[in-house]
Amino acid sequence: MQEDKKLKVGIFIDSFFPMIDGVVNVVNNHAKIMNNYADVTVFAPKGRGTFDDNKLPYKVVRCSKRLKLSFLDYDLPLPKIDRKFIKEMENSDFDIIHIHSPFSMGRVGLALAKKKNIPVIATIHSRYKIDFFDATKSEFITDIMAQNVNSVYEKCNECYAVNKQVGRAYTQEYGLKKKPKVQNNGTDLVYYDNEEEIDKLRKKYQVKEDEKILFFVGRMVKLKNIFFILDALKILKDKNFKYKMIYVGDGPDLNELKEKIEEYNLSDQVIVTGKIADRNEIVKHYRLADLFLFPSVYDCSSLVQIEAASQKTPTIFIRGSVTSGTCTEGVDAFFCEYNVEDFASRIIEIFNDKKEYEKIKDGAYNNLYVTWEQATKKVYEDYLKVIENYKNGKYSKEKIKEIKERKKDISEIVKDSLKDRKKQKEEEKKLLKKEKSELKKQKNKSSKTSKTNKKNK
């Protein structure tokens, strides 16, 4: 840690409190802990509803200009037309900038870093192509939007991804030339050992002795596969598996979920709590649960799986999903195929093998549980390295090398193109010569036939 002066850090995010999601939690926890040994300012849009920024230990600068999106549960910030926001941003003095979005807030953060001649880091939280295609239903538009996202990340000095699979997806599928490094998330939760409070919660939800408690927490959106879970729950009921399912969270598809629960006649087995903001209550729910259900193929590396691990609650994932990339099957997590029947069957199998279940519980706690203090210390150390590398001109040298390589690539493409064109012309000449020769032969043949006919006459 620097002792002579505190590091000044600017963080940019496209959504913030009162909205709560994975990215908001990441930024809040990093900023809260890092503020103990650095000066941290978070630049964020004004959200829907009210929130007191003064209760946060770090400084928050809000962008009040926004475009309201009625079909989503958040708005599009418009920082470039917010004069007050721009003024406060440009008057700030930072050593490094960290963007957590490639969109409007991330772009102004990137522009500020270039203007102030300081390094900028980006963390990749999502596989945006899924969102783009879901919104546009067009592969062509999706590819253009993905290239637009890449253009932001390419301009950053370093990129971080939440696991190896996400980094690989961006380099192999999205065409990102800059290879992202891995930056693991953490949790503020510690193991909850108050059994009396857990028993109270069990009684509140009227959990019977022979019932297993299944759990999901997150935004109530179809992309999280909340209806996939519900379909599996229906199968479990049909197979007479005894359980209580608890959904925690809020979102645009919450009402539809409630309607489906009624339609499936699962009201006695399934509980929907809505959003729980109190972390003391959240930790109790994780501790109460026997199994965390996370069949999302959308998420990259969700915080909830680390939070579940902190309470020795194992998670079941879809095999091959990106978010399962930090786990090992049979060691610290359960896996199944991407179909509802296998998901339901696997849940029954999990509880039929008590020895295996206990092993995975301990593995999740020992391998996946990382505190925010540990994760933030690593981020801070990375900041110091990036600043030092920036001052030493490492990124300028890399940029020059990259430009030279691109020029070389272009030159090779041009050469190949010229070679191909030369080859094409040679082939065209050969073909033309051949055609002329054939034509000449035909003329000679025709001439001979004509002379013979005249002689015979």
State the pLDDT confidence band at 2, using cuts at 50, 70 and 90: very low
Helix (H, G, I), strand (E, B) or coil at 215: strand
Cα-Cα-Cα-Cα torsion 338, 340, 345, 346, nearest 10 degrees, comes to 40
Q: Which amino acid is at 113?
A: A
Tell me the angle at which helices 83-90 and 104-116 cross, rounded to the nearest 10 degrees: 40
Question: Is residue 177 over pLDDT 90?
Answer: no
- Tabulate helix, strand, coil % of the chain (nearest 5): 55, 15, 30
Identify whether the C-beta of residue 266 lies closer than 8 Å to the C-beta of residue 233. Answer: yes
Q: Which tens digit of pLDDT belongs to each residue from 367-408? A: 999 999 999 999 999 999 999 999 999 998 776 666 656 556
Q: Which amino acid is at 344?
A: A
Q: Which tens digit of pLDDT belongs to each residue from 229-280? A: 999 999 999 999 999 999 999 999 999 999 999 999 999 999 999 999 899 9
- pLDDT value, residue 162: 85
Identify whether the C-beta of residue 347 lies closer than 8 Å to the C-beta of residue 228. Answer: no
- pLDDT value, residue 406: 58
Question: Is residue 446 over pLDDT 70?
Answer: no
Q: Which tens digit of pLDDT belongs to each residue from 348-357? A: 999 999 999 9
Taking the C-alpha atoms of residue 158 and residue 456, their distance in angstroms, rounded to an integer, is 91
158-161 and 120-124: which strand pairing?
parallel
Question: Is residue 321 over pLDDT 70?
Answer: yes
Cα-Cα-Cα-Cα torsion 125, 129, 134, 140, nearest 10 degrees, comes to 160
- pLDDT value, residue 21: 86
Task: Identify the burial level of 202 via C-beta atoms within 10 angstroms of its C-beta, where 0-12 means exposed, 13-18 middle and 19 or more buried.
Answer: middle
Q: Range with the lowest mean pLDDT among 17-21, 305-309, 407-411?
A: 407-411
158-161 β-sheet, strand order:
59-63, 38-45, 7-12, 96-99, 120-124, 158-161, 181-182
Name the range with the highest mean pLDDT among 69-78, 304-313, 437-446: 304-313
Identify whether the C-beta of residue 97 lies closer than 8 Å to the C-beta of residue 121. Answer: yes
Q: What count of residues does the chain have?
A: 457
Residues 6+ apart with CB under 8 A from 288: 198, 201, 202, 213, 215, 246
Residue 26 gets the label, from left (phi > 0), alpha (psi -120 to 50) or beta, of alpha
22, 24, 96: which is closest to 60 by C-alpha? Answer: 24
Identify whether the C-beta of residue 119 lies closer than 8 Å to the C-beta of residue 387. Answer: yes
Taking the C-alpha atoms of residue 77 and residue 13, their distance in angstroms, rounded to an integer, is 10
Over range 187-196, report the average pLDDT.
96
Please tell me whether the peptide bond between 57 and the residue prior to it is cis, using omega within 30 degrees of 0: no
Taking the C-alpha atoms of residue 153 and residue 159, their distance in angstroms, rounded to an integer, is 7
Taking the C-alpha atoms of residue 214 and residue 289, their distance in angstroms, rounded to an integer, is 6
Residue 239 gets the label, from left (phi > 0), alpha (psi -120 to 50) or beta, of alpha
pLDDT above 70: percentage of residues in the chain: 90
> How many other C-beta atoms can be found within 10 angstroms of the C-beta atom of residue 55?
7
- pLDDT value, residue 66: 92
Cα–Cα distance list, 221 to 134, 158, 299 (Å)? 12, 31, 12
- pLDDT value, residue 1: 45
18, 66, 7: which is closest to 41 by C-alpha? Answer: 7
